[in-house]
């Protein structure tokens, strides 16, 4: 076979294999036996081995290949992957409908879709070719899991049209695949996965794509992130387009003309969900018109044009055998119900938080009671109520102690709070939990420092506060249980790496009361350095729009503490970064910028910069980049093949720049 004949045959095989693959994995209607598919695949492999220069990324042979990764790189989404607000009842759905009607009038329709219980992902196609896939992450930044997503046979490596766009969906593990996986793990004596959702998430975060391939995952695509030049005006049109392009869309979606039809759809699937061969945890309801979606807008966390109805939580009965106490990093003492193990919503539950003594009294909970347990939002176990009719008289009343169960200090109830709190700063539990928070992923992100290692370090007296982590010696760590040479080297490397984190990571890790991730980022961006923040007064802090009186008081009180000042000095001495390294708003720096305070939309393909790079540069100069054009948009930067967004900007008379003018302004 010469090269020309090989190239022609490879193209024929691509078309045949892609067609058969689509019929089998998307339509669930194969037209040829498996043996015929395997024969053609083997033929393709043989030809590609003889002519390796003819191998292309979209070849069916390229779904699994290459070396295992050492880590996943971060990916910034071109438009945010927002979470949805939840509805738990018919009243919640009617309230959502009322808000929609008040905002856009009487004429609108909804699209209802099954809410797949899996892992949200984003797929990027360029010229019709699948080039990148990522996890949702925090909605703004995810992880590049392209190699693992390529192993999902229902994801086409090339679309039916050469389009540039980003599509969102839910990767999941079918129940049959889940059962097979757990059966194999049981045979090997490995820990079983609790449910298909956890198994899917774990599979897609494997560094070796061959492992992901062996798990037989699937996917449903449900929306378009960046539409590019696509000519669509409704969500239902986008679902139809995705299907035409060869992407797998859940066929159970339905267009509803009013809220009554929505409620009927929800009621139907609440009864029928067990008949599916995959897990769903609710129904997603979206306003169909894209123009009306834009009119409704969004909050910081979720769109106002969509809502997720969550199915009622599964409730089970079990026995409450004891109540244990734990002390958190802020000193709050929390009672926890110890239960006879029971299956709830796919996982084994043995513990449930009781929050505080008032709740125990309100629900009349006694040790030895038979109780009803559910998972709030299908995630957090909670005691719903007590079956008092089953009491035998052997149950015992629980009383919260007057002293801390860890250090023996008197517990206090602060004004306006229901929780009891240990206020001893030297309380071992307080320190231990603070250290666990400090090293956590969203704080200093020190991999290898889990609860068990922290516990050993604390018990051996190797750490008393966060600064001590940066002075640990290799010889000390090697003496810990299950810490060999490689583990210790990796841990020391992770500790060293954490020193260069931007200030907001450290600030969140310190665990200042009322200061969460978002507030830590706002404060770090505003003040720039730890020293400047430590000098801030109540009045100065409250001048920042997002910082209220309670938070400002907590910050000032925290940094007035001499032990805290000493801790900061020790962290400085260890070389921990005390400076904000993220983008600064121009209004908070001395930079004069044409982008400052403006709402800007990027559309089309840029030649000199990626869209993510352009977005970062604009934000560093004080601009705000959004994904859709509206009357509030100040500027549109249009690259090649700019479509509907450009047309809308022209219609609204919004200022439009090409890439050349944009680059010129960046240099000023």
The pLDDT tens digits for 475-515 are: 999 999 888 999 999 999 999 999 999 999 999 999 998 89
User: With contact defined as beta carbons under 8 Å apart, do 120 and 81 qualify?
Assistant: yes
Q: Where is mean pLDDT largest: 175-189, 387-401, 406-420, 593-607?
A: 387-401
Strand order in the sheet with 624-626: 624-626, 599-603, 635-638, 655-658
The per-residue pLDDT for range 128-158, each reduced to its tens digit, is: 999 999 998 878 888 899 999 999 999 999 9
Select from 169, 179, 176 the least CA-distant residue to 115.
Answer: 169
Class of domain 503-573: mainly alpha
The per-residue pLDDT for range 426-454, each reduced to its tens digit, is: 788 888 889 999 999 889 999 988 888 99
User: With contact defined as beta carbons under 8 Å apart, do 336 and 356 qualify?
Assistant: no
Instruction: Provide CB contacts within 8 A for 9, sequence distance 6+.
Output: 1, 43, 47
pLDDT at residue 587, as a whole number: 41
Instruction: Tell me the C-alpha distance between 145 and 169, whole Å.
Output: 14
> Mean pLDDT, to the nearest integer, of 180-208?
85
Q: How far apart are the first and last CA of the chain?
A: 59
* Fold match flag (315-412 vs 428-498): no
Q: Are strands 280-287 and 110-116 parallel, antiparallel or unpaired?
A: antiparallel
CATH 3.30.470.30 assigned to domain 86-310? The reply is yes
Res. 1: pLDDT tops 90:
no
pLDDT at residue 592, as a whole number: 56
Q: Which residue has the higher pLDDT, 62 or 324?
A: 324
> Mean pLDDT, to the nearest integer, of 587-603?
69
pLDDT at residue 584, as a whole number: 58
Instruction: Provide CB contacts within 8 A for 127, sequence distance 6+.
Output: 162, 163, 164
Q: Quickly count: other Cβ atoms within 10 Å of residue 466's Cβ.
A: 24
What percent of the chain shows pLDDT beyond 70?
A: 95
- Is the torsion defined by CA of 416, 421, 425, 430 positive or negative? negative
- C-alpha angle 467-470-473 in degrees, rounded to nearest 5: 130
Which residues are tagged catalytic?
Answer: 115
Lowest mean pLDDT among 30-39, 72-81, 117-126, 580-589: 580-589
Global model pTM greater than 0.85: no
Res. 61: pLDDT tops 90:
no
Select from 624, 571, 568, 574 the least CA-distant residue to 596.
Answer: 624
Instruction: Tell me the C-alpha distance between 276 and 605, whole Å.
Output: 41
CATH 1.10.287.610 assigned to domain 3-62? The reply is yes
Instruction: Provide CB contacts within 8 A for 494, sequence distance 6+.
Output: 446, 447, 448, 449
> Mean pLDDT, to the nearest integer, of 262-287?
92
Instruction: Tell me the C-alpha distance between 108 and 100, whole Å.
Output: 9
Question: Where are the alpha helices (H) located in 510-545, listed in sequence order?
Answer: 517-527, 530-535, 538-542
Q: φ and ψ at 329, to 5 degrees?
A: -70, -20
**CA atoms within 13 Å, Cβ hemisphere of 259:** 17
User: With contact defined as beta carbons under 8 Å apart, do 133 and 152 qualify?
Assistant: no
Res. 59: pLDDT tops 90:
no
The per-residue pLDDT for range 297-341, each reduced to its tens digit, is: 887 678 999 999 988 877 889 999 999 999 988 888 999 999 999
Instruction: Tell me the C-alpha distance between 631 and 434, whole Å.
Output: 47
Res. 66: pLDDT tops 60:
no
3-class DSSP assignment, residue 490: helix
Burial class (CB in 10 A: 0-12, 13-18, 19+), 428: middle
In CATH terms, 586-667 corresponds, of 3.40.50.10190, 3.30.300.20, 3.40.640.10, 3.90.76.10, to 3.40.50.10190
What percent of the chain shows pLDDT beyond 90?
A: 44
> Mean pLDDT, to the nearest integer, of 30-48?
85
Packed helices 562-573 and 549-560: angle between N→C axes, nearest 10 degrees: 70
- The alpha carbons of the chain give a radius of gyration, in whole angstroms, of 28
Beta bridge partners of 319: 370
Res. 590: pLDDT tops 50:
no
Average pLDDT in the chain: 87
| Chain centre distance of CA 111 | 24
Residue 375's region, left for phi above 0, alpha for psi from -120 to 50, else beta, is beta
Instruction: Provide CB contacts within 8 A for 366, sequence distance 6+.
Output: 320, 386, 391, 395, 396, 397, 398
- Strand residue runs (E) in 92-163: 110-116, 119-126, 129-135, 141-143
Select from 252, 238, 232, 262 the least CA-distant residue to 100.
Answer: 262
Residue 220's pLDDT band, with cuts at 50, 70 and 90, is very high
Res. 69: pLDDT tops 90:
no
The C-alpha torsion from 98 through 99 and 103 to 107, rounded to 10°, is: -40
Exposure b/e, 75-90, CB count within 10 A at least 16 = b:
bbbbbbbbebeebeee
For the domain spanning 428-498, the CATH number is 1.10.150.20
pLDDT at residue 367, as a whole number: 97
pLDDT at residue 568, as a whole number: 94
The per-residue pLDDT for range 523-547, each reduced to its tens digit, is: 998 888 999 999 999 888 988 877 8
Beta bridge partners of 133: 123
Domain assignments of the chain as residue spans, ordered by start: 3-62, 86-310, 315-412, 428-498, 503-573, 586-667
Res. 378: pLDDT tops 60:
no
pLDDT at residue 228, as a whole number: 56
3-class DSSP assignment, residue 466: helix
67: DSSP letter: P
Select from 421, 423, 419, 422 the least CA-distant residue to 358.
Answer: 419
Class of domain 315-412: mainly beta
Q: Are strands 655-658 and 635-638 parallel, antiparallel or unpaired?
A: parallel
pLDDT at residue 142, as a whole number: 87
Res. 589: pLDDT tops 50:
no
């Amino acid at each position: 076979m010469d090269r020309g004949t090989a190239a022609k045959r490879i193209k024929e095989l691509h078309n045949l294999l892609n067609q058969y693959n689509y019929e089998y994995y998307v339509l669930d209607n194969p037209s040829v036996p498996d043996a015929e598919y395997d024969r053609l695949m083997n033929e393709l492999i043989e030809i590609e081995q003889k002519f390796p220069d003819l191998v292309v990324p979209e070849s069916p042979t390229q779904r699994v290949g290459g070396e295992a990764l050492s880590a996943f790189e971060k990916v910034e989404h071109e438009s945010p992957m927002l979470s949805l607000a939840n509805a738990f009842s018919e009243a919640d759905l009617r309230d959502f409908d009322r808000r929609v009607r008040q905002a856009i009038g009487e004429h609108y329709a909804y699209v209802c879709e099954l809410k797949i219980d899996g892992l949200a992902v984003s797929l990027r196609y360029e010229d019709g070719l699948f080039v990148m896939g990522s996890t949702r992450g925090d909605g703004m930044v995810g992880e590049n899991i392209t190699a693992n997503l390529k192993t999902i046979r229902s994801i086409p490596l090339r679309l039916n049209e050469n389009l540039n766009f980003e599509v969102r969906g839910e990767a999941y593990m079918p129940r049959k695949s889940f059962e097979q996986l757990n059966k194999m793990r049981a045979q090997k004596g490995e820990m079983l996965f609790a449910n298909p959702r956890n198994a899917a998430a774990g599979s897609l975060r494997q560094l070796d794509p061959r492992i992901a391939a062996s798990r037989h995952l699937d996917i449903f695509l449900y929306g378009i992130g960046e539409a590019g030049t696509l000519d669509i005006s409704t969500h239902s049109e986008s679902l139809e387009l995705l299907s035409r392009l060869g992407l797998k869309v859940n066929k159970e979606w339905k267009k509803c003309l009013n809220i009554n039809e929505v409620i009927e759809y929800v009621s139907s699937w609440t009864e029928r969900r067990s008949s599916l061969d995959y897990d769903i945890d609710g129904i997603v309801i979206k306003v169909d018109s894209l123009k009306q979606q834009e009119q409704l807008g969004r909050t910081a966390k979720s769109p106002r044009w969509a809502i997720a109805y969550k199915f009622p939580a599964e409730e089970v009965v079990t026995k409450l055998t004891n109540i244990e106490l734990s002390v958190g990093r802020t000193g709050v003492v929390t009672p926890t119900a110890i239960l006879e193990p029971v299956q709830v919503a796919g996982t084994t539950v043995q513990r449930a938080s009781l929050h505080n003594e008032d709740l125990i009294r309100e629900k009349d909970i006694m040790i030895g009671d038979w109780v009803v347990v559910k998972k709030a939002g299908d995630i957090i176990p909670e005691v719903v109520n007590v079956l008092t009719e089953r009491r035998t008289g052997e149950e015992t009343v629980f009383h919260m102690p007057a002293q801390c169960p860890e250090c023996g200090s008197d517990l206090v109830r602060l004004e306006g709070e229901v929780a009891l709190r240990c206020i001893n700063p030297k309380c071992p539990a307080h320190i231990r939990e603070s250290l666990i928070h400090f090293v956590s992923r969203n704080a200093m992100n020190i991999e290898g420092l889990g609860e068990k290692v922290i516990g050993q370090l604390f018990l051996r007296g190797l750490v008393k506060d966060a600064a001590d982590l940066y002075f640990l010696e290799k010889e000390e760590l090697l003496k810990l249980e299950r810490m060999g040479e490689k583990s210790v080297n990796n841990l020391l490397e992770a500790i060293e790496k954490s020193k260069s984190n931007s200030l907001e990571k450290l600030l969140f890790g310190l665990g200042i009361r009322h200061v969460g991730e978002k507030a830590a980022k706002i404060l770090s961006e505003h003040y720039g350095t730890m020293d400047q923040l430590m000098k801030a007064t109540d009045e100065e802090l409250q001048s920042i729009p997002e910082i209220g009186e309670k938070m400002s008081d907590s910050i000032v009180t925290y940094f007035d503490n001499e032990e805290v000042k000493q801790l900061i000095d020790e962290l400085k001495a260890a070389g921990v970064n005390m400076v904000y390294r993220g983008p600064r708003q121009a209004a908070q720096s001395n930079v004069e910028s044409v982008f400052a305070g403006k709402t800007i939309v990027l559309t089309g393909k840029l030649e000199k910069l990626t869209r993510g790079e352009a977005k970062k540069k604009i934000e560093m100069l004080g601009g705000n980049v959004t994904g859709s054009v509206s009357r509030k948009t100040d500027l549109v930067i249009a690259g090649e093949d700019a479509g509907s967004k450009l047309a809308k900007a022209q219609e609204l008379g919004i200022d439009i720049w090409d890439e050349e003018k944009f680059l010129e302004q960046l240099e000023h």
